[in-house]
Structure 1
Amino acid sequence: MNHPISLAVIGGTGVYKLAQLDDVQTHEVPTRFGSPSGPVRVGTLLGQRVAFLARHGEGHSLPPHKVNYRANLAALQQIGAQRVLALNTVGGITDAYGPRVLACPDQLIDYTWGRISTICEEEGSEVVHVDFGHPYSPLFRSKVLAAARVTGVKLVDGGCYGATQGPRLETIAEIARMRRDGCDLVGMTGMPEAGLARELGLDYACLAIVANWAAGCGDAGEITLAEVLANVEAASTGLPELVGELARG
Structure 2
Amino acid sequence: MQTKIGIIGGSGIYDMDGLQDAAWVTPDSPWGTPSDAILTGTLNGVAMAFLPRHGRGHVHAPSTVPYRANIDALKRLGVTDIISLSACGSFREDRAPGDFVLVDQFIDRTFAREKSYFGTGCVAHVSVAHPTCDRVSDACEKAGRDAGITIHRGGTYLAMEGPQFSSVAESKLYRAWGCDVIGMTNMPEAKLAREAEICYASVAMITDYDSWHPDHGAVDISDIIATLHGNGTKARDLIARLPALLGADRAPCPHGCDRALEHAIMTAPDKRDPVLTRKLDAIAGRVL
Q: After TM superposition, is the score higher than 0.5?
A: yes
Task: Indicate yes or no: 2:182 matched with 1:183.
Answer: no
Q: How many angstroms does 1:22 deviate by?
A: 4.3
CA contact under 8 A between 1:38 and 1:53: conserved in structure 2? yes
Of the three residues 190, 204, 225, the one matched with 1:229 is 225
The alignment status of 1:155 with 2:162, answered yes or no, reads no
**Structure 2: runs of 5 or more not aligned:** 247-288
Q: Give 1:131's aligned residue.
A: 127
Aligned-partner SS, 1:239: helix
Instruction: Compute the TM-score of the two structures, normalised by the length of structure 2.
Output: 0.79
Query: How many angstroms does 1:94 deviate by?
Result: 0.9
**1: CA distance, partners of 2:222 / 2:162:** 18
CA positional deviation for 1:129: 1.0
What is the CA RMSD across the aligned residues, in angstroms? 2.0
Q: Displacement of 1:135 after TM fit? A: 1.2
Out of 93, 98, 111, the position equivalent to 2:96 is 98
One-letter identity of the residue aligned with 2:6: A
Percentage identity across paired residues of the two chains: 33
Call closer, same or farther: CA 1:16–1:161 in 2, change over 3 Å.
Answer: same
Of the candidates 19, 29, 34, which is equivalent to residue 16 of structure 2?
Answer: 19
The 3 A distance-change label for structure 1 pair 177 and 45 is same
How has the CA–CA distance of structure 1 residues 216 and 151 changed in structure 2, closer, same or farther, with 3 Å as cutoff? closer
C-alpha deviation, 1:235, in angstroms: 2.2
Structure 1 residues 227, 43: CA separation in 2 closer, same or farther (over 3 Å shift)?
farther
Deviation at 1:228, TM superposition (A): 3.3
Would you say the 8 A contact 2:83–2:203 is kept in 1?
Answer: yes
Task: Provide structure 1 residue ranges, at least 5 long, that are not aligned to the other structure.
Answer: none
Q: Over alpha carbons, which structure has the higher Rg?
A: 2
Assess if the C-alpha contact under 8 Å between 1:105 and 1:158 holds in 2: yes
- Find 1:220's aligned residue among 216, 224, 238: 216
CA 15–93 in structure 1, closer or farther in 2 if over 3 Å, else same: farther
Measure how far apart 1:79 and its partner are: 0.7
Find the aligned partners of 2:221 and 2:77 in 1 and give their Cα distance: 33
Structure showing the higher helix proportion among its residues: 2
Deviation at 1:161, TM superposition (A): 0.5
Please say if residues 92 and 214 of structure 1, whose CA atoms lie closer than 8 Å, have aligned partners that are also in contact.
yes
What TM-score comes out, normalization by structure 1 length?
A: 0.90
Q: How many residues align?
A: 244
CA contact (8 A) 2:167 2:211 kept: yes
CA–CA distance in 1 between the matches of 2:180 and 2:8? Answer: 21
The AA in structure 1 aligned to 2:237 is: E
The alpha-carbon deviation at position 43 of structure 1 amounts to 2.1
